[in-house]
Amino acid sequence: MQVKAVLFDLFDTLLLVEGGNAFYTPCLQKLHKFLTENGVDAPFEKFMKVYFEVRDALYAEADKNLEEPHFNIRVWKTLQRLGYNYELSDDVVTKATECFAQEFMKYVSLDENAVDVLQWLHGKYKLGIVSNFAIPECIWKLLEKYNLKKFFDVIIISAEVNKRKPSPEIFQKTLKSLNVASHEAVFVGDTPSMDIEGAKNVGMKAILIIRRTSVTDTPKPTSATIKPDITVKSLKELPKIIGDC
Q: What is the pLDDT of residue 215?
A: 62
Per-residue pLDDT of the chain (245 residues; tens, 9 = 90+): 689 999 999 999 999 999 888 999 999 999 999 999 999 999 999 999 999 999 999 999 999 999 999 999 999 999 999 999 999 999 999 999 999 999 999 999 999 999 999 999 999 999 999 999 999 999 999 999 999 999 999 999 999 999 999 999 999 999 999 999 999 999 999 999 999 999 999 999 999 999 876 666 666 655 556 899 999 999 999 999 997 77
Interval 178-236: pLDDT, tens: 999 999 999 999 999 999 999 999 999 999 999 876 666 666 655 556 899 999 999 99
**229 vs 22, 50, 130, 220, 222, CA distance in Å?**
31, 42, 19, 18, 16
d(CA 241, CA 70): 36
**52 vs 49, 60, 65, 165, CA distance in Å?**
5, 12, 20, 22
Neighbour-count burial of 245, counting CB atoms closer than 10 A to its CB (0-12 exposed, 13-18 middle, 19+ buried): middle
* Closest C-alpha to 174, from 192, 195, 193: 195
The β-bridge relationship of strands 15-17 and 108-110 is antiparallel
pTM of the predicted structure, to 2 decimals: 0.93
d(CA 39, CA 31): 13
Q: Which CATH class is domain 5-16+109-244?
A: alpha beta
For the chain, what are the domain ranges?
5-16+109-244, 24-105
d(CA 151, CA 196): 22
CB atoms under 10 Å from CB of 143, counted, come to 21
Q: What is the pLDDT of residue 218?
A: 66
Find out whether 106 and 145 touch, Cβ atoms under 8 Å: no
